[in-house]
């Protein structure tokens, strides 16, 4: 076979065929059938991959939350604004009663302020028994501004109450007309 360099210029093709990068189509019945019937299988594979990725993301989020909570606890314990519930004995007096079968210790914690400076524990319930009239200004009230807030509460009926009422609303009220004559609409005459 002759090389391209040996062929004279007038006989060479202007645009030679590129056989190296050509695509050859090959029909394979098995591959065709797998493609046409494999949509469901491929969709399931995508779902499984997505579920696995979601599980991994959730696990990573849980780990990061745990780490953040640990760091928060460490910082909170390090700061001295932390008051423990175990310090109730120091804050409130307790009375011990010894009975025949057991010993009872009673601690009155109604006056103890558990909130402290950390704000993590419960506070005491304090009721202001004096009524403040916003129109009256006294020397005490003038130095402290009192803010009165009123909140309207809208009561929504529960599902059970709605279901009890709904059967009443769904019932059709029968119209009782006299049995002998049918009621005629105004302006219409009977045709014979």
Residue 85 CA to residue 112 CA, distance in Å, equals 11
Alpha helix (H) ranges present in the chain?
29-37, 39-78, 88-91, 139-143, 159-170
pLDDT at 75: 84
- Strand segments, DSSP code E, in the chain are 94-98, 103-107
pLDDT of residue 89: 61
* C-beta of residue 114 within 8 angstroms of C-beta of residue 121: yes
What's the mean pLDDT when you consider all of the chain? 72
Listed in sequence order, the residues at least 6 apart from 96 whose beta carbon sits closer than 8 Å to its beta carbon are 103, 104, 105, 106
> 70-74, 141-145, 146-150: lowest mean pLDDT where?
141-145
Q: Hey, which residues does 105 pair with through a beta bridge? A: 96
Quick one: pLDDT at residue 126? 65
The residue with tokens 């928060």 is: 72
Per-residue pLDDT, 107: 79
Q: Residue 119 — very low, low, confident or very high, per pLDDT cuts 50/70/90?
A: low
Q: Which residue has the tokens 């310090």?
A: 87
User: Across residues 2-12, what is the average pLDDT?
Assistant: 70
Q: Average pLDDT in the 144-151 region?
A: 55
Answer whether residue 143 shows pLDDT above 50. Answer: no
User: What per-residue confidence (pLDDT) applies to 184?
Assistant: 61
CA angle, 74 then 77 then 80, to 5°: 140
Give the model confidence (pLDDT) of 153-181 as tens digits.
Answer: 666 656 555 555 565 556 665 555 555 55
Higher pLDDT, 62 or 125: 62
| Rounded average pLDDT over 11-15 | 76
Q: Residue length, the chain?
A: 192
């Amino acid at each position: 076979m002759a090389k391209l360099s040996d062929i004279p210029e007038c006989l060479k093709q202007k645009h030679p065929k590129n056989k190296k990068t050509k695509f050859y189509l090959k029909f394979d019945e098995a591959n065709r059938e797998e493609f046409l019937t494999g949509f469901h299988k491929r969709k399931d594979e995508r779902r499984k991959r997505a579920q696995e990725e979601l599980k991994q993301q959730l696990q990573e989020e849980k780990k990061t939350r745990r780490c953040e909570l640990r760091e928060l606890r460490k910082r909170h314990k390090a700061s001295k604004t932390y008051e423990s519930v175990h310090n109730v004995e120091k804050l409130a007096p307790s009375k011990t009663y010894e009975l025949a079968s057991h010993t009872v210790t009673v601690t009155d914690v109604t006056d103890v302020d558990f909130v402290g400076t950390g704000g993590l524990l419960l506070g005491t319930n304090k009721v202001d028994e004096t009524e403040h009239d916003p129109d009256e200004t006294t020397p005490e009230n003038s130095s402290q501004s009192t803010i009165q807030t009123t909140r309207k509460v809208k009561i929504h009926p529960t599902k059970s109450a709605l279901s009890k009422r709904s059967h009443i609303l769904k019932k059709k009220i029968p119209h009782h007309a006299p049995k002998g004559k049918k009621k005629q609409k105004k302006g219409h005459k009977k045709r014979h």
